[in-house]
Amino acid sequence: MTAQVVLVRRRIRLLGLCTLVALLTGVGVIAFQSKYCVLDADIGWHLRIGDWIIAHRAVPHTGVLSGTAADRPWTAYSWGYEVLLSRAYAWFGLVGVGLLGTLLTLAIVYAVYWMLRRLSCPITPACGLTGLVCWAFLFDGMPRSFFLSVALYAVTLTLLLDANRSGRIQTLYWLPLIFCLWANLHVQFIYGLFIVGLLVAVSLTQRLACRYGVAPGLLLPPTLPSASLMGVFAVCVLAVTVGPNFYHTYQVVYQYLRLKFPYSVLSELQPLTFRGYTDYLKLLLAGAGFFAVGWRQKIDPYKLALLTVASVVSFRAIRDAWFICIAAAACIVDFSALETECTPLESWFENAGVLSAVIVLLALFSRATDFNQRGLDRAIRASYPVSAVNFLRRNPVRGPLYNNIGWGGFLMWYMPEYPVAIDGRNDLYGDDVNWLFFNSEMGAPSYTTDPYLNGAGIVLLDSRLPLAKLLSSDPHYRMIFQDEIALVFVHKPGSP
């Protein structure tokens, strides 16, 4: 290899590294400017649960910090994330919360990039495809614990495809450690277990078909030993139970499978509407993934099964669109790997250089935004009832508190002196209670018999809710505070 060729390759690699820096910095700047890292309605209760864990040096197993469900069984399935969030706020205030959300966002971007690079995609194309994939789903949801699931899913899928392609079962020996960590960060570890179990099922089915002589010739044969593969899967299933929640993490999965309220009401859990261009981008990625799998002379049945299931899951809920986007990107790159020259992964020195450059650039860009304590505080004041809570601190009223669902997390954090009536922990309250609160908020006639509302000493509501307008003219309630965001009511003396 001539010196000129070496020089050209070094320049191409440097260009690729600069592209990676630009990608990560661009995503970070978007996170800074949108402030979406601190405006999530669930951040408050995650933060307070983290504080509770730090204060008690234990993980709660009941609905702590709730005024109506404190004694109900509940599993803090994302306790590891909540501890991180608690310390971020304790050390750096709202800026710490914003920085943690930004780091989670960048973790997804880098995990997808690492997946594409590990599957033999050159640096610059990997950056381009990473940007396309993340553009399709990354800002569909607020950064919280499920972002860790997305990043760990990308890592898990990479190891599975790499092992399946090479036939090296040793690659999968990292999986139990990953699942041990994952299960203590977020409940969607079940998606990771599913894709491992799917590989086991496909491999066993193929081997069984071969034994009976019915294996189609157009399918790639299994490459991993079935016994070792099943052993890895079994250890992963057990690894999930390592932690303070033991087997209860599986109970959380079962509870969420039974819930209907979140999938009926929460916008992020609704099916894709195809009213925005990112929905069509998701569809394009899915189609490209199927094309990449089907174009080969022999089809990989695992990839085909993965894309099929991922499509069903992702198009069912907006928040889960990452499932198909990442799987499709992996199939696209794995298809083209044989057609391109493999380039070595970045060294630790190159990664350190990329990290340093991103930190410096984000620090410089942050000065041109209001990503600071004052700016983030202003953003929260514009979205949540800060003034109403401050009024109640100056003019205390006897509880208990009644609040709307969307503000439960914020009030749990900002007004801990009043235990909330309800918050975003849907698995804690269950469908019946969630529907009761929601119907009351929407002004259903049944609000007059709502036991939680009738038993409240103080009612704090979003001023846009139908219930807030009804109580304004209800003779049993007296308004004591009003602004553009919130209304505060108390029961009139003698009212039922």
What tens digit of pLDDT does each residue of 291-320 get? 999 988 889 999 999 999 999 999 999 999
Average per-residue pLDDT for the chain? 92
Q: Output helix, strand, coil percentages for the chain, rounded to the nearest 5.
A: 65, 5, 30
Instruction: Tell me the pLDDT tens digit for each residue of 438-473.
Output: 999 999 999 999 999 999 999 999 999 999 999 999
Angle in degrees, CA 31, 33, 39, rounded to 5: 70
Instruction: Tell me the pLDDT tens digit for each residue of 209-236.
Output: 888 777 777 888 889 999 999 999 999 9
Alpha helix (H) residue ranges in 296-407: 301-316, 322-336, 348-366, 373-381, 386-394
Instruction: Tell me the pLDDT tens digit for each residue of 313-365.
Output: 999 999 999 999 999 999 998 765 544 455 788 889 999 999 999 999 999 98
Query: First-to-last CA distance in the chain?
Result: 89
| Residue 334 CB neighbours (<10 A) | 25
Instruction: Tell me the pLDDT tens digit for each residue of 135-162.
Output: 999 988 888 899 999 999 999 999 999 9
| Cα–Cα dist 53/38, whole Å | 21
Instruction: Tell me the pLDDT tens digit for each residue of 385-439.
Output: 999 999 999 999 998 999 999 999 999 999 999 999 999 999 999 999 999 999 9
Tell me 346's DSSP state.
P
pLDDT at residue 173 tops 60 = yes
Q: Return the structure tokens found at 219.
A: 């399918």
pLDDT at residue 45 tops 50 = yes
Q: What is the pLDDT at residue 339? A: 47
* Residues sharing a CB contact under 8 Å with residue 310, sequence separation 6 or more, in sequence order: 286, 323, 324, 327, 328
Q: What is the pLDDT at residue 493? A: 66
Q: What is the pTM of this model?
A: 0.94
- Tokens 């790499």 locate to 162
Q: What is the pLDDT at residue 366? A: 84
88 versus 38: the higher-pLDDT residue is 88
Q: What are all long-range contacts of 204-210, with beta carbons under 8 Å and residues at least 24 apart?
A: 204/230, 205/301, 206/301
Q: What is the pLDDT at residue 182? A: 98
Instruction: Tell me the pLDDT tens digit for each residue of 70-84.
Output: 999 999 999 999 999
